[in-house]
A = this chain, B = another copy of it.
Amino acid sequence: MATTPKGRRLDADERRAQILACARELFSRRPYAAVSTAEVADAAGVARGLVNHYFGTKRALYLEVVGELANPELPALPDPGSHGSLQEALEAVIDMWLDQAEDNRETWLAAIGAGGFGRDPEIELIIDGAREEVAQWILRAIGVGAPVPGFEELHGIVRAFTGLAEASSVEWLVHGRLSRDQVRALLVSSMLGVLRDVVPGLLGDRTPS
């Protein structure tokens, strides 16, 4: 990453961007506390003091990296009115979202914190374990054992569902945009709908389609 020979002067903006890039590289692999400014400076082929000169503090540098990562560059929406049903509009926007996630995979995962950003990989493991426990708990509750055909998909669905449960609960407990009853209805409705689509056999007596 050290693109310039020692001591060479660069344009301020250029140098700043270069250091930022190195910091991004390092912070995306190791947790905040495990990355030193000296390391960042080293990677950029620059004296440590210069990092502080451009970003003030290590924390400020970190914040800037995160801010850069978390900026999702959402694709432009198609003209309103060009779509017929709500379903079509929804499908379109979801496709765009998925494209975006697939293309910027690295960046996007880092921003989400899934691949572990400044977050400690070990911490990530603990959290993931807890989520997995909840998922297994739900699977048991709806009477799904491991050897069911298509279990992997079901597993993934339930894991995804816990994401919905967490986010909606935050809307309820933190932002107050949803009531408990609404969260409940939201979870039951969406989970039922998805199960109906993917494993219709589970529903027993009621088997549409």
Binding site for B on A (CB under 8 A): 32-33, 59, 63, 66-67, 70-72, 74, 77, 80-81, 83-87, 89-95, 97-98, 101-102, 105, 108-109, 111-115, 118-120, 122-123, 126-127, 129-130, 133-134, 137-138, 140-143, 152-153, 155-157, 159-175, 177-178, 180, 182-195, 197-198, 202-209
B63 near A123 with CB under 8 A, answer: yes
A178 vs B160: C-alpha distance when bound (angstroms): 10
| A133 CB to nearest B CB, Å | 7
A71 vs B95: C-alpha distance when bound (angstroms): 36
Do A143 and B80 form a contact, CB below 8 Å, given A85-B206, A109-B170?
yes
Do A126 and B160 form a contact, CB below 8 Å, given A89-B143, A141-B93, A193-B193?
no
A-B residue pairs, 3 tightest by C-beta: A163-B167, A156-B177, A193-B193
- Write 12 A-B pairs (CB below 8 A) sorted by A numbering: A83-B207, A86-B203, A91-B188, A112-B169, A112-B170, A118-B123, A155-B177, A156-B168, A162-B167, A182-B198, A185-B198, A190-B191
B178 near A167 with CB under 8 A, answer: no
Interface of A is mostly: helix
Copies, count: 2
B153 near A177 with CB under 8 A, answer: yes
Query: Closest chain B residue to A34 by CB distance?
Result: B59
Query: Closest chain B residue to A58 by CB distance?
Result: B33
A189 vs B190: C-alpha distance when bound (angstroms): 8
Do A184 and B94 form a contact, CB below 8 Å, given A133-B72, A168-B163?
yes
Q: Give the residues in chain B near A74, CB-CB below 8 Å.
A: 133-134, 137
Query: Closest chain B residue to A207 by CB distance?
Result: B84
Query: Closest chain B residue to A87 by CB distance?
Result: B192
Residue of B140, B162, B173 near A102 (CB, 8 A) is B173
A123 vs B32: C-alpha distance when bound (angstroms): 12
A198 vs B182: C-alpha distance when bound (angstroms): 9
